[in-house]
A and B are shown apart, each in its own frame.
Chain A
Amino acid sequence: MEDLRELYQQLILDHSQNPKNFHEMEHPTHTAEGDNPLCGDEVTVYLKVEDDVIKDVSFVGSGCAISKASSSIMTETLKGKTIEEAHTIFDLFHRMITTGETDSAQEEKMAVLAGVHKFPSRVKCAMLAWHSAIGAIDKKEETVSTE
């Protein structure tokens, strides 16, 4: 029970109850939808990328506290980062969620979700928005590279 209460600490609940950047975006350069068919969670992520820099990120959707908090934290973390930095941060986040390992180089905001690794069934909830964001970026890059 202690682990679970730790996971659902106040910061997580604040993010889930009042998520940051929780709105649609006009004229995004990248969007992606993600869903977790197991629990019915849905998220749409919007990004505005200019000169390889993520100028703006937002999301809409419905989901559990973990997925909503993680989406909110994702938008705060990725805003202002370069595409390359976003990939590095994604890898760090993924490692933290699956193993609990944190890195001194990583953003502090992300660390509140480190406890997720103790609950394997919730890894997908925490990763949903992150996978969607990185998927949106990669898809666009792919398209660009084939032109």
Chain B
Amino acid sequence: MESRYDVRSSKTTIGDIMNTFNIDNIRQDFPALNQLNRNRPLVYLDNAATTQKPNQVIDVISTFYRTSNANVHRGIYEISERATEAFESARQKAADFIHAEDSSSIIFTRGTTEAINLVAYAWGLHNLSPGDEILVTEMEHHSNIIPWQLIARKTGSILRYIPINEDGTLNLENSDIFFTSKTKIVAVIHQSNVLGTINPVKEIIQQAKQVGAISLVDGAQSTPHFKVDVQEIGCDFFAFSGHKMVGPTGVGVLYGKRELLESMEPFQGGGEMIKSVTFEESTWNDVPWKFEAGTPNIAQAIGLGAAIDYLNDIGIDQIHTYEQELTEYALDILEKIPGIQIYGQAPNRGAVISFNVDGVHPHDMVQFLDQDGIAVRGGHHCAQPIMKKFNVSATTRASFYLYNTRDEIDHLVESINKTASFLRR
């Protein structure tokens, strides 16, 4: 398939899909969906882990390497200018996608994890004192726990957790006990990668503001699936990953309020992030480049730009509506499986369903589903505190994206039933 993507104008056009949601056309865009898994047609339901890539993204990356590969921000020659322009236009696309004030608030990172670490080290290390409190929730992915544990240990600050309810929502009753004058940063997951819960981040951040704390939202699981407006949310930082939204691995974004970014120390040192260097000292480049030491992930960032174009052309609202219908359908028929326990029943939830079936360990379940062509995840999903909360060591997790179908969910349910009756015989 020939790419119609122009690195300079950077606008992907998607065949027949304009404003209509045509699932057959969408599936044709993703070559990896069209293959066998253990000799059965692949049913890919591990989208919370990573998503497949459409031709439109693959072609843009390949075209970049074939025609415009050069280092950015340095060369005076034509292809370097072209690479720089494509790279910076991807930054603008990322800014527009999450409705950031402008592209200078967008830092390219390796992914969500690196974005959170950037805030922990470049802000936390210099602004937290003994006794200060870092507030997260029991629902966090390890990537929004471990960096804070490390920083708390270094600074003498304290990590506190907003608890979760049985239904997988956050327990925000009496939350005043968590939001105090000691609270310096509130870091919260937008959508749980285990329970699917979509958290009321706007309200949480208002509470953070009332006590003078800054805020970070982990948007790894939300940004791919529904419209995000960081200005409306009101957060100081927002992080997301490219590979969970049909983009390449190795690229993510940290959005930050400009004045905060400007007041912060650099995260890593090296080329690109400096204005001038002497043997004694250096001055830093402007934001966002101050936080992008070394040659950045140029092709990946441009690939992320193409992924954003792809999602925009289909429409993030359309994707969300489609996924909501799919999730409702899945919940409906999964609930009918004898002995099933679904973890997370939040009214406001995304396309992630974690479950266990009586007498079947998730590891065995996943192995049998794999034999039927179905790719799902079994384990603790990098969220051991949630597992502990629900008193399980692991769950099976199915997570959907824009290219999944009801047929695939039917196949999943059929395979779960078959596996359960085989293993419980």
Contact = CB atoms under 8 A, between A and B. Distances in A.
Interface of A: 1, 4-5, 8, 10, 13, 17, 38-42, 62-68, 119, 121-122, 125
A62 B364 contact: no
Contacts of A1: 38, 371-372
A143 to B, nearest CB: 30
A40 B371 contact: no
Contact of A13 (B367, B368, B423): B423
Contacts of A66: 363-364
B28 interface: no
B291 to A, nearest CB: 31
Contacts, number: 53
Contact of A39 (B359, B362, B423, B425): B362
A66 B360 CA distance: 11
A5 B363 CA distance: 15
Given A40-B393, A40-B394, A8 B379 contact: no
Contacts of A64: 361-364
B363 A39 contact: yes
Interface residues of B, number: 20
Interface of B: 38, 359, 361-364, 367-368, 371-372, 378-380, 384, 387, 393-394, 422-423, 425
B387 A5 contact: no
B368 A42 contact: no
A65 B422 contact: no
A8 B423 contact: yes
A38 B379 contact: yes
Given A8-B422, A63-B361, A40 B367 contact: no
A40 B364 contact: no
Contacts of A68: 361
A119 B364 CA distance: 12
A42 B371 CA distance: 25
Given A63-B361, A64-B361, A65-B423, A39 B371 contact: no
Contacts of B425: 10, 13
Given A1-B371, A13-B425, A40-B380, A8 B393 contact: no
A17 B379 CA distance: 20
Q: What 6 pairs between A and B have smallest CB-CB spacing?
A: A40-B393, A64-B363, A64-B361, A40-B394, A40-B380, A39-B363
B141 to A, nearest CB: 15
A125 B387 CA distance: 19
12 contacts: A1-B371, A5-B422, A39-B363, A39-B378, A39-B379, A39-B393, A40-B379, A40-B394, A62-B361, A62-B393, A65-B423, A125-B363
